[in-house]
Each structure stands twice: as C-alpha cells, then as structure tokens.
Copies of this chain bind each other. A is one copy, B any other.
Amino acid sequence: MADVLGSALDKVLHLSALVSTDLARFEAEAGLTASRIHLLWVLGLAGPATQRSLAMTLDVSPRNITGLVDGLVASGHVTREPHPHDRRAWVVTPTMLGEQTIRSLREGHADLARQLFGQVPADRLAAFVATLDQTIATFAELVEDPP
C-alpha cells in the first residue's frame, strides 16, 4: 500500500545514484570533479558568463566559483577574459578543450538516455514522463506552501 509509494521514491533515487556512478566514470576519464563538470555544463547551456552569474545559477557562493574557475583554468578548460564593459568582472569562457569536454558530456548524456529509455515503448515512456511532471509540480507546491 504505502509501500508502493516508498518504493517508487526509492527507485527514483536508486536510478539517480546509478546515473551518478556513470558520471563518476566520466570524471575520472576527464580528470575533472562533479562541481567543475557542473560549471562546464552550465557554460555549455548559457554560453560565456561572469562569475557572479555562475554563482547564482549554481546556487553557490562567489568565493566557491573563484576556486572552481581557478581549477578549470589550471586544467585548460576555461579562460578568464576581462569583461568588455565592467572592469570589475571576468567573463568565463570555455577553451577548445572545454568545448570538447562539453560536447562529450552531452553525447554521454544522450547515449545514456538512449540506452536507458530506448527500449521503453513510446506510450509507456510518455506516461512515465507525465508522472514525473506531475510529481515535480506537486513538489513545487509543497515547497511554496508546506503542509
């Protein structure tokens, strides 16, 4: 009964943990960490960004971004360019290596999705996604108006 509900949640978390395992393989191969990969991913989505905007997007302190960008500059994945109109700010831009990493990140993500869900019939997959949507929406309501 209520067991089915808990089991659904457990399985979502289990799948998510498995995907994290897969990411860990990528981390090892690329010599990066999860946080740095996350930053690169965001750069790939939104393009070059100031550290301030990265701090907001990643929901992390500005000081933390300094450290992450330091690491990515050292490994050659991004550069810090002067901001064209604001001499206080830096613009963080992926290098060619960074762009390449972002591409393989995307490919890995798409491959994994294809492998995981490719065999699921279309109607069942649609229902699956709809249930996820409903659940995510429910969660948003909970956060706004806790019981």
Question: Which residues of A are interface residues toward B (Cβ below 8 A)?
Answer: 2, 4-9, 11-16, 18-19, 21, 109-110, 112-120, 122, 124-129, 131-136, 138-139, 142-143, 147
- State the CA gap A133–B15 with chains docked (Å): 9
A117 touches B5 (CB 8 A): yes
* Set of chain B residues within 8 Å of A110, measured between Cβ atoms: 2, 5-6
> Distance (Å) between the CB of A103 and the closest chain B CB?
15
A129 touches which of B8, B18, B114 (Cβ 8 Å): B8
* Set of chain B residues within 8 Å of A5, measured between Cβ atoms: 110, 113-114, 116-118, 125
B8 touches A139 (CB 8 A): no
* Set of chain B residues within 8 Å of A21, measured between Cβ atoms: 143
B132 touches A117 (CB 8 A): no
Q: A115, A117, A133, A136: which has the most chain B beta carbons within 10 Å?
A: A117
A9 touches which of B6, B116, B139 (Cβ 8 Å): B116
> Distance (Å) between the CB of A9 and the closest chain B CB?
4
- State the CA gap A35–B128 with chains docked (Å): 31
* Set of chain B residues within 8 Å of A143, measured between Cβ atoms: 21
> Distance (Å) between the CB of A53 and the closest chain B CB?
20
B132 touches A8 (CB 8 A): yes
